[in-house]
Structures are given as structure tokens and as C-alpha cells.
Copies of this chain bind each other. A is one copy, B any other.
């Protein structure tokens, strides 16, 4: 039994060390023994869960300013067969960090979304400084720490600590309403019988026009089932052909939710259940 417990704690996250995904892993699994493995991309985290290398994987799915992390939805829809087992919402605070005693900054590097989320700060204070996109905020901190001269990174206070960097400016994000939703993914569905839950599905509706989506939304509306999000993504079959992701309040175990989803499934030419899962907020 000890071995099964150990296996259950193998968690993959979007690395390297110091990412917000790692912070989520550490705060959520606090006090739990286990191994935490960083992966170099979101799709590699998801495919590692799919391949059984790790039991759970943590990836970002949506930011309140920049919107959906497309690769997360696309990989869940088209490449992996997994369930969402938890959702976690975390406030994001960005900082400008550099090596101690950096006098002049020629280049600021970070993940594309972090650069975008600090655009007004950068335009105001560093209008002529080159901006370079790297895979993650932590990769940016690593790049700065490993020797790039006159570089600064945008990242978390934790990534500055890990890589021996100094925080030059704190909380530099343009908008205070900056939170990110993370998903925990697994091959087995979650148990939602005793908690507040959401359910996610993805489908390609039979018909491409407004009327088809209208009818699908009617299945939810007439059963008083609330949607928290609708997202269309390319089906990869040509422009104008979409799959729709629905985030639904409630669980498959709720009679109305199950009835609405079954009606949607009946009206779809392709359908995938991404699971029911509890929701958490992490500070």
C-alpha cells in the first residue's frame, strides 16, 4: 500500500522550478510526500499524464487578462484522453528581477503572457528596451541568472529567490484583476459527491451556424444549468469549423447537469467528457 501512495503523489508541472505552476503544486500538495517533475512545455505535462509517467499534471488554462491558454484546450481535445480532477485559481503578481548590481537593462525576457500583462509598465519605464519571449517566467529567471548580461526577467518573487536574483520592481502587472486558472489532470475522474463542482465538456456541434449553438445553449437554459464559460477553438478541419468547450456549474452527479449534457452529446457529431471536479482558490 505504501508504494501505491507514493505513486499517487507523482505530479508533473510546467517547469522549470520557480513557475507559478510549481507554486500551485507546492501549496496544494503541502505536507504530502511525493515527487514533483518539471516539464518544459504545457503539452509535455499533459502527454506525460496521458503516458502514465506522472499521476497528476498541473497546467494553466486561463488568465483573467490574456484569456485562454490555447495549447491546454487543444491538447485536451485532440491529443490526450484525461479528466480534469481539480481547478485552482491563483492571483498572479509579476516582478522585474535581475542579477544584483545590474546597472543597465538592454533586454527584458519572460513568457509572452507575462510580457503582455506588463505592457503598459514596460512601455512607460522601458520603452526602448528589447523584449524577448521565452517558454516560461521561470525560464526567463534562469536565463538571467545563468549569465545573459544586462538582462532582466519578469517573474515571481519565488523565482528570484531560487535563482539568486534581486527584485527591482514589485507588482508591475497592468491590471490588479490578474488571476490565473490552473487545472489538475489525471487519467481517472475525480469524486465530486461532497463538494462544489464544475464540469467541462468539448464537442463539435452538428451544424456550423448560429441556430445550432442556440439550440445547444437552450438545453442548458431550459434546465436552469449555468455555464461559466464557452470557448470556441478551431476544429482543425478548415476555417469556420469549431469545437466548443463548455464549463458547467455542477457535477455529472446532478440530475439536471447530466440531462443537459446528454442532450448536447446527442446533438454533437463529436463529444468528449473532460470530467467533473472540485474548485479551489490558492493565495
Contact = CB atoms under 8 A, between A and B. Distances in A.
Interface stretch (A1-9, A21-29, A220-228): A220-228
Interface string A197-215: 0000000000001110110
Contacts of A237: 177
A74 to B, nearest CB: 8
Interface in A11-61: none
Chain A, interface size: which category?
35 or more
B133 A67 contact: no
A238 B181 CA distance: 12
B210 A214 contact: no
A147 interface: no
Contacts of A213: 217, 227, 230
A221 B214 contact: yes
| Copies of this subunit | 2
A127 interface: no
A236 interface: yes
A63 B214 CA distance: 24
A143 to B, nearest CB: 12
Contact of A133 (B133, B218, B225, B242): B133
Given A210-B220, A225-B210, A239 B70 contact: no
Interface in A151-205: 175, 177, 179, 181
A44 to B, nearest CB: 11
A253 interface: no
A125 interface: no
8 contacts: A62-B239, A64-B238, A177-B237, A209-B226, A210-B221, A211-B221, A214-B221, A231-B232
Q: Which 6 A-B pairs have the closest CB atoms?
A: A210-B227, A64-B239, A214-B217, A214-B221, A177-B238, A133-B133
